Amino acid sequence: MSRLVSLAIAFLALTSTHATAQDPRIRDRLDRATATAVSSLIDSATRAGIPAEPLIQRALQGSIKKAPGSLIIAAVRELSVELGAAKSVLGPQSPRAELVAAASALHAGATATDLRTLRAARPRQPLTVALATLADLVSHGVPVAQATETIRVALAKGANDAEIVALRRNIERDIKAGAPPSAAAGVRARGLPAKKTGQHVQPASKDRR
């Protein structure tokens, strides 16, 4: 009987190990200590409802860039925090792509309040493209407050994803032609036509940065 109990305990241990097993991509491409730490972060994130795949990809990106383990761990932790913040604002039903874009927007300097404002401007459709565009505008030198306001105005005017992408391309073109990034974003946002008759776009709130 004791043999049976030992067998059961061994099987239980094996099964439990499998339940928290490292992703093979992490195990194969990171050193053991980094893989263990990253896997622990991913387990914690997953328990909080945060998708694991973006975290795995952030770690693998560190691997191909030959980053030290401490930097990889810090990068995964940072993204986990940003995804968690995005999820708390956008809600548990927010799809992974939207969370990733929201994490990028937060990383670019947008605040949780900004995300709520944009969600309110488009409550029933994904914000993936809008939030990704916000981050892209910041990377082109548009101040984050102006980038957020540009996206907010576009959403308030009923712009769809294709129009938001076109807006970004126009702003990029203006910047390449020598326009100051902030001015380019402001002018292009104002130039978007409002789709709904009589729609009034509220000006930016005074407490913006």
Partner 1 sequence: MSDRNEEFIQRIAQTLREPVTLRADFDARVMAAVRTEPAPAISTARRIWNLAATPRTVHLSPIAGFALAAGLLMAVVAIGRERNVATMRTASLSAAAAQIRSDTVRLVQFVFVSQDAKSVSLVGDFNDWNKEKTPLHEGADGLWTVSIPLPNGRHQYAFMVNGERWMLDPSAPTAVENSYGTPNSVVTVSEDAL
Question: Where along the sequence are the contacts to partner 1 (CB under 8 A)?
Answer: 4-5, 7-8, 11-12, 15-16, 18-20, 25, 54, 57-58, 60-65, 67, 71, 74-75, 78-79, 96-97, 100-101, 104, 107-108, 126, 128-129, 131-133, 135-136, 138-140, 160-162, 164-165, 168, 172
Q: At 207, list the tokens.
A: 């407490």
Distances (CA, A) of 100 to 127, 161, 177, 179: 11, 16, 31, 30
**Do residues 169 and 156 touch, judged by C-beta distance below 8 A?**
no
State which residue, 85 or 165, has the beta carbon closest to partner 1.
165
| Least distance (Å) between residue 196 CB and partner 1 | 19
State which residue, 108 or 192, has the beta carbon closest to partner 1.
108
| Least distance (Å) between residue 136 CB and partner 1 | 4
**Please, which residues have CB within 8 angstroms of residue 117's CB and are 6 or more apart in sequence?**
148, 152
The rounded distance, in Å, linking the Cα atoms of 21 and 103 is 26
State which residue, 17 or 205, has the beta carbon closest to partner 1.
17
| Least distance (Å) between residue 14 CB and partner 1 | 9
State which residue, 121 or 135, has the beta carbon closest to partner 1.
135
**Do residues 182 and 143 touch, judged by C-beta distance below 8 A?**
yes
| Least distance (Å) between residue 208 CB and partner 1 | 19
| Least distance (Å) between residue 197 CB and partner 1 | 23
| Least distance (Å) between residue 199 CB and partner 1 | 21
Answer positive or negative: Cα dihedral of 159, 120, 114, 86. Answer: negative
The rounded distance, in Å, linking the Cα atoms of 131 and 107 is 11
State which residue, 126 or 186, has the beta carbon closest to partner 1.
126
State which residue, 135 or 156, has the beta carbon closest to partner 1.
135
Q: At 190, list the tokens.
A: 């104002």
The rounded distance, in Å, linking the Cα atoms of 115 and 148 is 9
